[in-house]
């Protein structure tokens, strides 16, 4: 139709709002989705905090193993009748050795997880 003259129409164009519907989900479903999303975020936050807690517990246990090894060496040397100065030197040497091994292991672990590509696309 080239013109609306004589057609009985004014030329006003209306939107077809019946064909366009908003969300087809009911109100209850949308509320449940919001609740589920909130719950999922809480769970993720809890998991992250528990990961850091687990990491600190693991670190504490590793340091405790070092202390236990040093205490065992100290008791063994005391039972043999070694002088206190020699005991102190031996315990410090063992502690330094175990600590450096732990640090080396941590560095290796960090190197694995902190991969940086040599060539990056800019």
Q: CB within 8 A of 82, min separation 6: which ones?
A: 90
Q: CB within 8 A of 87, min separation 6: which ones?
A: 74, 77, 78
Most confident of 5-14, 16-25, 71-80: 71-80
Residues 77/87, Cβ–Cβ less than 8 Å: yes
What is the pTM assigned to this prediction? 0.48
Q: List, for residues 21-73, the tens digit of each pLDDT value.
A: 666 778 889 899 999 999 999 998 888 877 777 778 888 888 899 999 999 99
Q: List, for residues 90-120, the tens digit of each pLDDT value.
A: 999 999 999 988 888 777 666 655 555 566 5
Alpha-carbon distance of 10 to 101, in angstroms, equals 88
What's the whole-number average pLDDT of the chain? 81
Closest CA to 77 of 66, 92, 65, 63: 92
């Amino acid at each position: 139709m080239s013109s609306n003259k004589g057609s009985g129409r004014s030329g006003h164009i209306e939107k077809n709002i019946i064909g366009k519907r908003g969300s087809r989900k009911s109100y209850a479903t949308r509320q449940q989705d919001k609740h589920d999303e909130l719950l999922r975020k809480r769970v993720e936050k809890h998991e992250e905090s528990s990961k850091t807690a687990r990491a600190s517990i693991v670190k504490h246990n590793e340091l405790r193993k070092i202390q236990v090894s040093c205490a065992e060496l100290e008791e063994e040397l005391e039972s043999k009748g070694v002088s206190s100065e020699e005991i102190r030197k031996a315990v410090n040497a063992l502690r330094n050795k175990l600590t450096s091994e732990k640090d080396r292991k941590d560095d290796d672990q960090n190197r694995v997880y902190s991969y940086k590509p040599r060539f990056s696309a800019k």
